[in-house]
Copies of this chain bind each other. A is one copy, B any other.
Amino acid sequence: MNVDELVRTPAWWIEEDSSEPGIVVSSRVRLARNIRGAAYPGWAGEEECERIWKELLPILSDLEVLDSPLHAEMGELENIDKQILFERHLISREHAEKGKGSGVVARGDERLAIMVNEEDHLRLQSMRPGLALDEVWKEIDDVDSAVEQQVRFAFGVKLGYLTACPSNVGTGLRASVMLHLPGLVLMNDMNPIIKGMGKIGLAVRGLWGEGTEATGNMFQISNQITLGEREKDIILELEQIVLEVVEHEKNARIRLLQEREMLTRDHVGRAYGILTNAHILTSKEALDQLSGLRLGIDLNILDSLDGRVVDELLLLTQPGHLQKLEGRRLKPKERDRARAAQVRSRLLDAKKPALRRRKSQTSHE
């Protein structure tokens, strides 16, 4: 897998042209699957894991739907490359810590990825920008069927698909949607929504999944229950809730402009002022301030700025991407400086088209 090449392309969740304000960032469905008769990765030794990886790799690589995929064994990757796969949501934090016998296979456009020997033998996932749960579900369902033609999955008649952790038994399905909810956060309406989700069996997590904080006003909503419900119902239920949350966020944004216009303009303005002038930026602050910028663009307060720049910066300011971009290892303090420099120059560059438009004859684009 050539991670250097990967890092130069926009992430899978960045849309070429998004007309809707970016409330739903992306949709994802993953299926947990295991091979019948083999020990779960946590119990299997390195040798058995290697055997499984070697058995699965050609099968997965040949899948038509994956279209000559990228693939890499964890043991062969530099830490920084693992970090990049993690930042692009292609592998989990836990998977990045693995070595020999664990790997990932992904389609070139990154919208399909299969982790081998993470918690389960197979974690099949499909991702897309925006709200597209139905599409990603259909896509991963096809991948699942294709794999199942060649691999005998651990399956019980009563329980369904068997998984390493009981929380995934049954469908093995986790559907999740990433939402950008600055309106609800600024109106102090987010906490009751998070509580409400818990009551109806949905989990709310941060940008990087389980156990992470909601940095940058990004929230991941996903189903908790995998047993006793049909896949389509899980997807449908989540989609309905997400649409409700989107409505709440839209209302919150309207109320922000009606009831707290100055506060909102101040919030957005400060984000822009800090991002274009700071010389030290932590990863967390970058995400938080970029969220303010994104809100400003969505609300047409910062209309001279292209939203894609913000989307790109959300990724490029992450430690792995940042170091690849700079072409060398950076200590955390060096990263904070490099991050600020990247953000400053890219935001100032992004302002240029407005200037160029005014005097098109001297355009050098």
User: Which residues of A in the span 252-270 have a Cβ within 8 Å of any Cβ on B?
Assistant: 262-263, 265-266, 269-270
Q: Does A278 contact B (CB under 8 A)?
A: yes
Tell which of A262, A265, A272, A273 has the most Cβ of chain B within 10 Å: A273
Partner of A337, one of B262, B270, B273: B262
Q: Does A18 contact B (CB under 8 A)?
A: no
Chain B residues with CB under 8 A of A276: 273
Chain B residues with CB under 8 A of A269: 277-279
Chain B residues with CB under 8 A of A266: 278-280, 340
Complex CA distance for A266 and B337, rounded to whole angstroms: 9
Q: Does A274 contact B (CB under 8 A)?
A: yes
How far does the Cβ of A262 sit from chain B's closest Cβ, in whole Å? 5
**Residue of B whose beta carbon sits closest to that of A271:** B277
Number of chain A interface residues as a range: 10 to 19
Chain B residues with CB under 8 A of A262: 279-280, 337
**Residue of B whose beta carbon sits closest to that of A269:** B277
How far does the Cβ of A222 sit from chain B's closest Cβ, in whole Å? 36
Chain B residues with CB under 8 A of A272: 273, 277
Q: Would B277 and A273 count as touching, CB distance under 8 A? A: yes
User: Which residues of A in the span 47-69 have a Cβ within 8 Å of any Cβ on B?
Assistant: none
User: Which residues of A in the span 270-291 have a Cβ within 8 Å of any Cβ on B?
Assistant: 270, 272-280
How far does the Cβ of A260 sit from chain B's closest Cβ, in whole Å? 10
Complex CA distance for A337 and B264, rounded to whole angstroms: 12
Complex CA distance for A279 and B272, rounded to whole angstroms: 12
Complex CA distance for A279 and B265, rounded to whole angstroms: 6
Complex CA distance for A279 and B270, rounded to whole angstroms: 8
**Residue of B whose beta carbon sits closest to that of A337:** B262
Complex CA distance for A276 and B272, rounded to whole angstroms: 10
How far does the Cβ of A269 sit from chain B's closest Cβ, in whole Å? 4
Complex CA distance for A18 and B278, rounded to whole angstroms: 28
Tell which of A274, A275, A340 has the most Cβ of chain B within 10 Å: A274
Complex CA distance for A347 and B126, rounded to whole angstroms: 50
Chain B residues with CB under 8 A of A280: 262-263, 266
Complex CA distance for A345 and B139, rounded to whole angstroms: 53
Chain B residues with CB under 8 A of A265: 279
**Cβ contacts A to B, 12 pairs, < 8 Å:** A262-B280, A262-B337, A266-B279, A269-B277, A269-B278, A270-B273, A270-B277, A270-B278, A272-B273, A273-B275, A273-B276, A273-B277
Task: Across the A-B interface, give the 6 residue pairs with the lowest CB-CB distance, nearest first.
Answer: A273-B277, A273-B273, A269-B277, A266-B279, A265-B279, A266-B280
